[in-house]
Amino acid sequence: MINQLAFILPIVVLIAAFIATAVKILREYERGVVFTLGRFTGVKGPGLIILVPLVQQMVRVDLRTMVLDVPAQDVISRDNVSVKVNAVIYFRVVDAERAIIQVENFGLATSQLAQTTLRSVLGKHDLDQMLAERDKLNSDIQQILDEQTDAWGIKVANVEIKHVDLNESMIRVIARQAEAERERRAKVINAEGEQQAAQKLLEAAEVLAQRPEAMQLRYLGALTAIATQNSSTIVFPVPIDILGAMAKMAGKTG
């Protein structure tokens, strides 16, 4: 009995080792890049995969979308402002063969490429553009990354700039700039209002000059407005034409 166990036990161990090395199960989102004696022989999966032990090896590749957090990068904008910018990148493997064969570590390679691209693209823009045109910058960075990672079988789906951090001195400068801009707009609006009011007064004067009776009605309206005020003394303005007529009469009598 002991001799039989001693004979069967190694066989069981060999069978278990064979199953462990030869039988692989890949999930729906996984693919296996198979190498036979070191040479690429195909991409398999998902499901049950059987390999020849010691002859074939398999590298698992996850096809799901991966999230890559790009560390904060020191960026000097085109107008010489130093900021710290970090971003997040969403990418996935679309070609398992190239992702394994063309690059050693596609995750690390994509991360390093994203950092250099982020500094390069943002360095070509002013600070105001970084703050106001994030959607355009995200699109530019995504397009550049997607083109460069295509050879690795990687698809960069989206890039989002998360934070643009400024130092305290720049925050105060931007606050003063914003205040000055608000004052400038207020003065422009006030000047435009004065210009429009002057234009309307000029048009009204031209209309009154064409119709003297309209001027008299305006004069009577002014007297009515003055009479309604609570004042003990009322000064009535005398039109210049009346003064002129009185002067002529005084000259004739003299």
Identify which of 214, 234, 239 has the alpha carbon closest to the alpha carbon of residue 247: 239
Q: Which residue has the tokens 């090395």?
A: 21
Which is more confidently placed, 102 or 242? 102
How far is the C-alpha of 72 from the C-alpha of 155, rounded, in Å? 23
Q: Which residue has the tokens 């002991």?
A: 2
Which is more confidently placed, 164 or 241? 164
Please say if the pLDDT value at position 240 is more than 80.
no
Number of other residues whose CB lies within 10 A of the CB of residue 49: 18
How far is the C-alpha of 135 from the C-alpha of 166, rounded, in Å? 20
Type of residue numbered 86: N
Spell out the CATH class of 66-166: alpha beta
Range(s) for CATH 3.30.479.30 in the chain? 66-166
* Residues 87, 121 contacting (CB under 8 angstroms): no
216 pLDDT band (50/70/90 cuts)? Answer: low
pTM of the model: 0.64
Q: Looking at residue 208, what is its pLDDT?
A: 64
Percent of the chain exceeding pLDDT 90 equals 38
* Residues 75, 118 contacting (CB under 8 angstroms): yes
Type of residue numbered 7: F
Dump pLDDT digits (tens) for 13-69: 677 777 777 888 999 999 999 999 999 999 998 999 989 888 899 999 999 999 999
Dump pLDDT digits (tens) for 133-178: 889 999 999 999 999 999 999 999 999 998 888 777 666 666 677 7
How far is the C-alpha of 148 from the C-alpha of 151, rounded, in Å? 7
DSSP string for 27-46: -TTEEEEEEETTEEEEEE-S
